[in-house]
Amino acid sequence: MEVVKAVDEQNQVQEQEQNSGLREKSPVIRMKRPYFIMLLVFLVIFASGITAFALSFGKESQPMVIGGSSERDEFAKLYNAYDTLKKGYYKDIDEDKVINGAINGMIQSLDDPYSTYMDEKDAKEFQHSVSSSFEGIGAEIQEKDGHIMIVSPLKGSPAEKAGLKPKDIVIMVDGKSIQGMTSTQAVMLIRGEKGTKVELTIQRPGVEGTIKVPIIRDEIPIETVHGEMVGDGIAKVQITTFSTNTSKELVETLNNLQEKGMKGLILDLRQNPGGLLEQAVSISSMFVPKGKLLFKVEERNGNIEEYKSKNEGNPEFPLVVLIDNGSASASEILAGAVKESAGVPLVGEKSFGKGTVQTVQDFPDGSNVKFTTAKWLTPNGNWIHKKGIEPDYKVAVPDYYNLPYLDPKLELKKGSSSNDVKTAQQMLSVLGFDPGRKDGFFDEKTENAVKAFQQANKLQTNGAITGSTTEKIIGQLQEKIIKDDPQLKKAIEVIKKEMK
């Protein structure tokens, strides 16, 4: 018998998620227009005002003639400011730039990192990057408090390999400050073709100073589901993002694992930044009994729409779900649904906390506006926005999981003193080579530890940390992180009890 009897094919979304390698966080949950007509509320105000600037955004409202009887009082100040600049500024103004600035200002005044405006040029470039390739660094970002923050690097991506972590704040890109940029502007600056290099300067919570992270852009993995047996009839399936074919991939993976003897499942949503809402509905339905609530959507007028499981039956195996602070949006919908409607235990760390829904309105001139239309609630009515979902079994990861990236091009040797040396000393210590100190000063004991590491790995024994030595240190640290994984170990412990 197949693991999943029914997956609603109508939920297979025709629209490919915006994933060009580095993705803007704001569209991670997107509702179809029949579900959310609330954008009309916005457009009635938006279109009637902006048409005064000779932009035609549709038929949602009647065109306005400045000074005519249809002029709206609430836009008087806006018109006056525009006329004042056009007539009195010391040089000719760029009308398109001023108008786009006014629109962008309206969006920014919402103080909502998930709402943004793209003018014709930015929208065209962004759509081109989406349709032409899946190349970039592979990370979800969002604007927060005027900064660009990493939500989550994608599994196997250059961003993950370079050591980017959730909550990292990007300060500069190739030495250029991005302070005050929108997430869209940051995406356009960071994305690029496979094989090209970009250097991010980041601030990491709990780490002193800034960290420079060089990344070689590459093709981003398209597969979103990865499954394996982890022993004793237990399978682990990681979902990296909720894309167009994720539910189909998951069904195939589960059926394959069942043939290998799967009797219990660990669903890994760590570092999953979200994706398409329809996929979250399909996948949640696989693990929640038919008719039970998956989540609710609350509009600004207080109306609530309930989304229920469409599954015809429950999988015949116990389930445990892994989450962390990189689990966001659609991941949180799934985690909340199985926790509250199916009694599935969650293991790991508190999730990211993204509880809003966005939609995109395209305009005839090629620009668009993406804005929040509603908030979603868990089956029990909890709004997890900015709070996240607490796991049933809280398991922290070791401090060395968050060590900064160490650039192989650097040469660290006896007499050096820097934060990079401090990072290298911490890495050596974790790998079992005692540097004698961890304060950032490269002394004789640290040199001896490096030589011992080089000898153990058949590298040139010169006592300096650079090139292949650095790469080997980083590689072994990554292997240790995967091998140790205290969250996975706890999940295995929990599911074994569920299987009895």
pLDDT in tens, 286-297: 999 999 999 999
pLDDT confidence tier of residue 132, bands split at 50, 70 and 90? very low
Convert the pLDDT of each residue in 20-64 to its tens digit.
344 444 333 433 333 332 332 333 333 333 322 222 223 333 333
CA distance 371 to 373: 6
Lowest mean pLDDT among 67-76, 88-97, 264-273: 67-76
Check pLDDT > 50 for residue 88: yes
- Comparing 487 with 23, the larger pLDDT belongs to 487
- Give the separation between CA 337 and CA 344, rounded to whole angstroms: 9
* Cα–Cα distances in angstroms (integers) from residue 70 to residues 52, 66, 73, in the given order: 11, 8, 9
Residue 12 · residue 244 · CB < 8 Å: yes
User: How many Å apart are CA 396 and CA 398, to the nearest integer?
Assistant: 7
- CATH C-level class of 122-219: mainly beta
Number of residues that this document lists for the chain: 500
Please enumerate in sequence order all residues whose Cβ is within 8 A of that of 197, keeping only pairs 6 or more positions apart, or say none.
Answer: 214, 215, 216, 217
CA distance 268 to 333: 14
Counts of helices then strands in the chain (DSSP H, E): 13, 20
pLDDT of residue 125: 65
9-18+221-357+372-398 is classed CATH 3.90.650.10: no
Contacts 24+ apart (CB under 8 A), 301-308: 304/377, 305/35, 307/281
Instruction: Round to whole Å and give the CA distance between 399 and 165.
Output: 13
User: Read out DSSP for 136-187?
Assistant: E--EEEEEETTEEEEEEEPTTSHHHHTT--TTPEEEEETTEE-TT--HHHHH
Q: Which of 291, 376, 292 is nearest to 332 (CA)?
A: 376
Highest mean pLDDT among 199-213, 335-349, 399-413, 469-483: 335-349
Confirm if 149 and 160 have CB atoms less than 8 A apart. Answer: no
Q: CA-CA distance, 292 to 129, in Å (whole number)?
A: 39
Q: What pLDDT, on a 0 to 100 scale, did the predictor assign at position 182? A: 80
Can you identify the CATH homologous superfamily of domain 406-484?
PGBD-like superfamily/PGBD (1.10.101.10)
Task: Give per-residue pLDDT as tens, 383-431.
Answer: 999 999 999 999 999 999 888 888 888 999 999 999 999 999 999 999 9
**Annotated catalytic, 340?**
yes
What pLDDT sits at residue 221? 64
CA within 13 Å, CB half, 77: 2
Asked whether 406 and 390 are in contact (CB, 8 A), the reply is no
Q: 138-153, pLDDT tens digit by residue?
A: 888 888 777 899 988 8
Instruction: Examine the pLDDT at 165 and tell me if it is beyond 60.
Output: yes
Residue of 329, 351, 367, 416 marked active site = 329
In which band, very low, low, confident or very high, does the pLDDT at 264 lie, cut at 50, 70 and 90?
very high
E-only strand ranges, 217-367: 218-219, 225-231, 234-239, 264-268, 293-298, 304-308, 319-323, 346-348, 356-362
Candidate list 155, 308, 354, 370, residue with the active-site label: 354
Annotated active-site residue 59? The verdict is: no
What does the block give as tokens for 473?
């240190």
Q: Report d(CA 343, CA 44) in Å as an integer.
A: 44
Q: Tens of pLDDT along 216-244?
A: 999 876 678 999 999 889 999 999 989 88
pLDDT score, position 24? 41
Q: Which two tokens stand for residue 40?
A: 């009309």
Query: What's the rounded mean pLDDT across residues 204-213?
Result: 86
| DSSP β-ladder status, 197-203 and 169-173 | antiparallel
Ranges 16-20, 180-184, 483-487: which has the least confidence: 16-20
Q: How many CA atoms lie within 13 A of 428 on its CB side?
A: 31
pLDDT at 2: 36
Model confidence band, residue 184 (pLDDT cutoffs 50, 70, 90): confident
Residue 19 has pLDDT above 70, yes or no: no
Residues 112-126 as b/e (b if ≥16 CB within 10 A, e otherwise) read ebbbbbbbeebbeeb
Residues 308-327, mean pLDDT to the nearest whole number? 86
Return the amino acid letter for 123: A
Mean pLDDT of the chain, nearest integer: 83
**Which pLDDT score is estimated for 379?**
98
d(CA 70, CA 64): 6
- The pLDDT tens digits of the residues spanning 344-382 come to 999 999 999 999 998 889 999 889 998 999 999 999 999
- The domain spans of the chain are 9-18+221-357+372-398, 122-219, 406-484
Check residue 51 and give its pLDDT.
27
User: pLDDT value at position 93?
Assistant: 95
Q: What is the pTM of this model?
A: 0.74
Q: What is the mean pLDDT of residues 74-102?
A: 93
pLDDT at 161 over 90: no
Residue 314 has pLDDT above 70, yes or no: no
Known catalytic residue: 331?
no
17, 249, 278, 340: the active-site residue: 340
C-beta neighbour count of 245 within 10 angstroms: 16
Indicate whether 179 pLDDT > 50.
yes
DSSP single-letter state for residue 401: G
pLDDT band at residue 134 using 50, 70 and 90 as cut-offs: low
pLDDT of residue 86: 94
pLDDT at 302: 94
Mean pLDDT of all residues in 459-471 = 96
The whole-number pLDDT of residue 23 equals: 42
State mean pLDDT over 114-133. 68
Q: Which two tokens stand for residue 353?
A: 């906390």
